[in-house]
Chains A and B, each alone.
Chain A
Amino acid sequence: MDATTLPPLPSGRSARVIFTGTRRDFFRLVRRGALLELITAGLYRFWLATDIRRALWSGTSVDGDAPEYTGTAKELLIGFLFALAILVPIYVAYFLIGIEAERAKAFASVPLVLFFYAFGQFAIFRARRYRATRTVWRGVRFWMSGSGWAYSWRACLWTLLTLLTLGLALPWRESALERYKMRHLYYGSLEGRFDGSGWGLFKRGWWLWLLSLPIITVPFTYPAYKAVLWRWWLSGIRFGEVRFDSDLRTGAMMGLYWAVIGWVLLVLIIDGIVVSSVGFAVLLLSNGEVGAGALVELLREYPYVVLGANLVNYLVVALCAGIVVRVYLVRGVWERVVTSAVAHDLDRADDVRAEGRPVSALGEGLADGLDIAGF
Chain B
Amino acid sequence: MASTSPGSDAASASRAPDQPASGGAAPRPAIYFDGATNRRHIVALHFGPALELSEDGVAVASWAYDDLRAVDGGPGTLRLKCISALPLARLEVPDPAAQAEISARARFLQVERGGSAQTGRVVGWSLAAVTSIVLVVIFGVPFVAERLTPLVPLSFERRLGGMADNQVRAIFGGRTCANADGVAAFAKLVETLRQAGHVDMPLQTEVLASSVPNAFALPGGRIYLLNGLLQKADSADEIAGVIAHEVGHVSHRDQTRLMLQRGGTSFLIGLLFGDVTGSSAAIFVTRSLFDASYTREAEHEADAFAIETMHTLGRSPAPMGELLFRVTGAQGNHTIGILASHPLTEERRELMRQEDRPTTGPEILSDAEWRALKAVCHSTKAK
A61 touches B74 (CB 8 A): yes
Q: Is there an interface contact between A297 and B331, defined as CB atoms closer than 8 Å?
A: yes
Q: Bound state CA distance, A42 and B40, in angstroms?
A: 41
Establish whether residues A36 and B123, one from each chain, have CB atoms under 8 Å apart when the complex forms: yes
- Nearest B residue (CB) for A55: B72
On chain B, the residues within 8 Å of A66 by CB distance are 72-74, 77, 79
Q: Chain B, 11-54, contact with A by CB distance < 8 Å: what is the 0/1 string? A: 00000000000000000000101111111100000000000000
Chain B 322-354 interface residues, beta-carbon cutoff 8 Å to A: 331, 333-335, 340
B75 interfacial contact with A, CB 8 Å:
yes
A371 to B276, CA, bound (A): 8
Please report the total number of B residues contacting A with Cβ < 8 Å: 53
| Interface residue? B83 (CB, 8 A) | no
**Bound form: Cα–Cα A351–B4 in Å:** 11
- In the complex, A104 Cα to B129 Cα: how many Å? 40
B148: min CB distance to chain A, Å: 13
Judging by beta carbons under 8 Å apart, are B122 and A40 in contact? yes
Q: Which residues of A contact B125 (CB under 8 A)?
A: 43
Considering the complex, give the chain A residue whose CB is closest to the CB of B79.
A68
Asked whether any CB of chain B lies closer than 8 Å to the CB of A322, the reply is: no
One of B158-166, B229-237, B375-383 contacting the partner: B158-166
Interface residue ranges of A45-74 to B (CB < 8 Å): 45, 47, 54, 57-59, 61, 64-66, 68-70, 73
Docked pose: A178 CA to B136 CA in angstroms = 45
When the two chains form their complex, are residues A139 and B34 in contact, meaning their CB atoms are under 8 A apart? Answer: yes
1/0 per residue B127-149: CB within 8 Å of A? 10110000000000000000000
Specify which of B39, B79, B276, B282 is in contact with A87 (CB 8 Å cutoff): B276
CB of A352 within 8 A of CB of B38, answer yes
Contact A99/B72 with A43-B272, A369-B276 known, Cβ cut-off 8 Å: no
Cβ < 8 Å to B, chain A residues 239-287: none
Cβ–Cβ contact B277 & A352, under 8 A? no
**For the complex, is A116 an interface residue (Cβ under 8 Å from B)?**
yes
The interface residues of chain A lying within 8 Å CB-to-CB of B3 are: 13
Q: Which residues A113-140 have CB closer than 8 A to chain B?
A: 116, 136-140
Contact of A39 with B123 at beta-carbon distance under 8 Å, contacts A99-B163, A137-B38 already known: yes
Q: Is the CB of A351 within 8 A of B39?
A: yes
Is A141 interfacial (CB 8 A cutoff)? yes
- Least distance between A65 CB and chain B CB atoms (Å): 7
A359 within 8 A of B: no
Question: Which residues of A from 289 to 303 have beta carbons under 8 Å from B?
Answer: 293, 296-297, 300, 303
Within the complex, the shortest CB–CB distance from B172 to chain A, in Å, comes to 17
A174 to B72, CA, bound (A): 33
**Count of chain A residues near B, Cβ 8 A:** 58
A352 to B74, CA, bound (A): 21
Contact residues of A between 342 and 375, Cβ < 8 Å to B: 347, 349-354, 368-371
Cβ of B126 < 8 Å from any Cβ of A? yes
Q: What are the residues of chain B within 8 A of A139 when measuring CB–CB?
A: 33-35, 37-38, 86, 88-90
Report B50-91 CB contacts with A as 1/0, cut-off 8 Å.
000000000000000000000111110101000000101110
The reply on B171 being an interface residue by CB < 8 A is: no
Q: Restricting to A64-92, which residues have a CB under 8 Å from any CB of B?
A: 64-66, 68-70, 73, 80, 83-84, 87-88, 91
**Could you tell me the distance between the alpha carbons of A350 and B39 in the complex, rounded to whole angstroms?**
6
Cβ contact of A293, chosen from B88, B130, B334, cutoff 8 A:
B334
Given known pairs A43-B126, A99-B163, the reply for A349 and B38 (CB within 8 Å) is yes
> Contacts A66-B77, A91-B277, A297-B334 known; A54 to B38 CB distance under 8 Å?
no
Chain B residue at smallest Cβ distance from A136 = B88
Residues of B within 8 A of A313 (CB): none
Taking A80-B274, A350-B4 as contacts, is the C-beta distance between A20 and B74 under 8 angstroms? yes
Q: How far is the CB of A120 from chain B (nearest CB, A)?
A: 10
Instruction: Name the CB-closest residue of B to A21.
Output: B75
Given contacts A68-B73, A293-B334, contact A350 B126 (CB under 8 A): no
- Report the bound CA distance from A353 to B33 in whole Å: 11
Cross-chain contact of A54 among B36, B72, B126, B279 (Cβ < 8 A) = B72
Instruction: Please list 10 pairs of residues, one from A and one from B, whose beta carbons are closer than 8 Å in the complex, sorted by A's number.
Output: A20-B75, A41-B130, A43-B125, A73-B122, A138-B90, A139-B90, A297-B334, A303-B293, A352-B38, A371-B277
Known: A41-B272, A136-B88, A300-B334. 16 other contacts (CB 8 A): A36-B122, A42-B272, A57-B72, A58-B74, A69-B72, A73-B122, A83-B276, A136-B90, A139-B37, A139-B38, A139-B90, A140-B37, A188-B38, A300-B333, A347-B4, A353-B37
Identify the B interface with A (CB < 8 A): 1, 3-4, 31, 33-40, 71-75, 77, 79, 86, 88-90, 92, 119, 122-123, 125-127, 129-130, 156, 159-160, 162-163, 271-279, 282, 293, 331, 333-335, 340
- Interface residues of A, Cβ cutoff 8 Å to B: 13, 20, 36, 39-45, 47, 54, 57-59, 61, 64-66, 68-70, 73, 80, 83-84, 87-88, 91, 95, 99-100, 102-103, 116, 136-141, 188, 293, 296-297, 300, 303, 347, 349-354, 368-371
Rank and list the top 9 A-B pairs by shortest CB-CB distance, nearest first: A139-B33, A40-B126, A66-B74, A138-B38, A58-B72, A369-B276, A43-B126, A140-B38, A64-B1
